[in-house]
Amino acid sequence: MHPPSLPAALTIPKKLSRYSAFIIVLGICVGISASTASTLTAMDNKSTLQWQQMVQAGENQDVYFHTWGGDPQINAYIQWAAKAVDRKYNINLVHVKLSDTSEAVSRVLAEKSANNNDKGSVDLIWINGA
């Protein structure tokens, strides 16, 4: 059974450069958060500091990325992104291949119910659908 295709707004354009795609994946992996500073300069400084702190916190860590594992092209793309993240940031992106993404969602809900708010086994989930 194949997952539903992504809505047009969430699909990756064919002309997207590898660098742009890397930036998108990296943003997802590291979890960039928006700054709430009142001026653009303050926002830039705060964002840069937050980014540096996130990168430092992620060094030598494993990030578990749960995705449906049935598409060889997507699997190859995630493999490429994992190597790039490892080379640039020394973060080990582990691709957890699922037969159904609901497995990861169920795991997150079970861990949350058990008050496991800090040491969960799922860091990222790729969820398709409308």
Domain assignment present for residue 27? The answer is yes
Q: Tell me 100's DSSP state.
A: -
Domain assignment present for residue 63? The answer is yes
Which pLDDT tens digit goes with each residue over 64-115?
A: 999 999 999 999 999 999 999 999 999 999 999 999 999 999 999 999 999 9
Domain assignment present for residue 50? The answer is yes
Do residues 60 and 86 touch, judged by C-beta distance below 8 A?
no
- Is the pTM higher than 0.85? no
Domain assignment present for residue 49? The answer is yes
**Which two structure tokens, joined as six digits, stand for 8?**
């047009």
Do residues 107 and 79 touch, judged by C-beta distance below 8 A?
no
| Cα 102 → chain centroid | 17
Domain assignment present for residue 1? The answer is no
**Which two structure tokens, joined as six digits, stand for 122?**
């799922």
Domain assignment present for residue 12? The answer is no
Domain count within the chain: 1
- According to DSSP, the β-strands at 92-98 and 124-125 are unpaired
Which pLDDT tens digit goes with each residue over 32-75?
A: 333 333 445 665 677 777 888 888 888 999 999 999 999 999 99
Range of the domain at 77: 17-125
Domain assignment present for residue 110? The answer is yes
| Cα 37 → chain centroid | 25
